[in-house]
Amino acid sequence: MLDRRLSVAPMLDCTDRHCRFFLRQLTQRSVLYTEMVTTGAVLRGHRERVLAYDPAEHPLALQLGGSDPADLARCATIAAELGYDEVNLNVGCPSDRVQSGRFGACLMAEPALVAACVAAMSTAVDLPITVKTRIGIDERDSYQELVDFVRPVAASGCHTFIIHARKAWLRGLSPKENREIPPLRYNVVRQLKQDFPDLSVILNGGLTDLDQIAEQLPLVDGVMIGRAAYENPYLLAEVDQRFFDSPHPVPTRHDVVRDMLPYIERQLRQGTPLHCMTRHLLGLFQGLPGARAWRRHLSENAHRPGADTGLLEAALRFVPEPVTA
């Protein structure tokens, strides 16, 4: 059983393998999620590129985008063979591109199909099959309609629902606007937990600090954070101590960078460009003196031919290291 008290959301173009390894230097216990990977990319694309990960990333969930039960079952089987800890079905993304592929948030209108997808994956593998969704779509946003979605999907084998506490507008709003404009309704997610006590209900949406997370945890089974963790990753540094009773000391920002260097060196030897890794570290010193210089130095130089870990060591000089007693 995964401990989902805190997890980091799947974020397209953000939570790739390099980002996840970086986040793992900040929190050992939080569940991490891949970017959404379509079934087509798994079955007919460059599988190694889209599914590879470092063992240090565990506990790690693969988020899939798709709506064909047979294809999803095949992808879940591959995920199990590769050692992923969970398979998550995306029923929350509202983008036009995702809708055109008949997956994402538009599937909330087809609970029977989602149930069939979950049943196919649950039959194929022993991994937890979870669903990430919204509280509704368009005008279909009543609490009863959410219940009518959850009930058959739960009966098909999904025991964990990650609920973004906003509805999605499938037309008229961009994905970014869909993360900001529809109002947050935490009460809907909390009510769902009360009405389905045997399900694991994870709250997602709008949470930006650990105090907010602590306020919600007694009311739901876990909290998922997204953009806040990406834009200000050091937010995660105290998570293990605060929510998982970890005895390990909180890492300093400088320690995190130094711990990343061996990984970056390995990736450079394998041909990974430096900027593909350093782009995830830009927000590490957010709010501190020297943070702008840190970001600028990495942004302007990581693309240069021959750039290596010396660039990060040089960038660290712009941000004062904490003085210890």
Whether the CB-CB separation of 103 and 75 falls below 8 Å is answered with: no
End-to-end CA distance of the chain: 40
Residues 6+ apart with CB under 8 A from 154: 161, 196, 199
**Left (φ > 0), alpha (ψ -120 to 50) or beta: where does 272 sit?**
beta
For 99-120, what is the mean pLDDT? 92
Mean pLDDT computed over every residue of the chain: 95
Whether the CB-CB separation of 102 and 133 falls below 8 Å is answered with: no
pLDDT value at position 325? 38
For 21-26, what is the mean pLDDT? 98
Please give the CATH architecture assigned to the domain spanning 253-318. Up-down Bundle (1.20)
Asked if the bond preceding 59 is cis, omega within 30° of 0, the reply is: yes
pLDDT, tens digit (0-9, with 9 covering 90-100), for 41-92: 999 988 888 999 999 999 999 999 999 999 999 999 999 999 999 999 999 9
Q: Where are the alpha helices (DSSP H) in 83-185?
A: 96-100, 111-124, 143-155, 175-178
Other residues' Cβ atoms within 10 Å of the Cβ of residue 107: 27
Would the pLDDT of 247 be above 60? yes
Query: For residue 160, what are the β-bridge partners?
Result: 200
Residue 323 banded pLDDT, cuts 50, 70, 90: low
Would the pLDDT of 261 be above 50? yes
pTM for the model: 0.95
pLDDT, tens digit (0-9, with 9 covering 90-100), for 124-164: 999 999 999 999 999 999 999 999 999 999 999 999 999 99
Classify domain 6-239 at the CATH class level: alpha beta
Element (H, E) at 36: strand 31-38
For 110-137, what is the mean pLDDT? 98
**What are the extents of the domains in the chain?**
6-239, 253-318
- Residue 298 one-letter amino acid: L
Q: Is 106 tagged catalytic?
A: no
Token pair for 203: 């709250």
What is the DSSP code (8-state) at residue 136?
-
Residues 14, 19, 75, 93: which is the catalytic one?
A: 93
The burial of 287, by beta-carbon neighbours within 10 Å (0-12 exposed, 13-18 middle, 19 or more buried), is given as exposed
